[in-house]
Amino acid sequence: MLPSPSPKELAEEARRALAAAPKLTPLEHFEFLVKEGIIDRQGRVLCNRLFGGGDDQTDKPDPATNGAADQPATPQTEQKPGS
């Protein structure tokens, strides 16, 4: 079994990979991520695609709630001065 690489070796490998990667503008990088199915056009990560789940369309949040979880409203208690 091979020993795990050291942090220095991992950093060197990452630097070599970044240097060898094509240079993309931010817009080109975004388009690449969308085309590869890694994110959708709203920038949400498509976890099902990445981790082998079901259909990506089934787990999208409701845009009206902007991804907020359903939580009951917390009642505000009124505090009287001096208490």
Does residue 14 fall inside a structural domain? no
Alpha helices in the chain (DSSP H): 7-20, 26-35, 47-51
Look at the block and give the residue holding tokens 């787990």.
59
Stated length of the chain:
83
Does residue 2 fall inside a structural domain? no
Predicted local distance difference test score (pLDDT) of residue 1 = 78
Does residue 47 fall inside a structural domain? yes
The number of domains in the chain is 1
Q: Would you say residue 65 has pLDDT above 70? A: no
Predicted local distance difference test score (pLDDT) of residue 45 = 87
Q: Are 38 and 50 in contact (CB under 8 A)?
A: yes
Does residue 46 fall inside a structural domain? yes
Q: Would you say residue 60 has pLDDT above 70? A: no
Q: What Rg value do the Cα atoms of the chain yield, rounded?
A: 23
Predicted local distance difference test score (pLDDT) of residue 58 = 47
Bridge partners, 39 (sequence order):
45
Per-residue model confidence as pLDDT tens digits over 19-46:
998 899 999 999 999 998 889 999 898 8
Does residue 71 fall inside a structural domain? no
Enclosing domain of residue 41: 24-59
Does residue 37 fall inside a structural domain? yes
Does residue 66 fall inside a structural domain? no
Average pLDDT over residues 42-60: 66
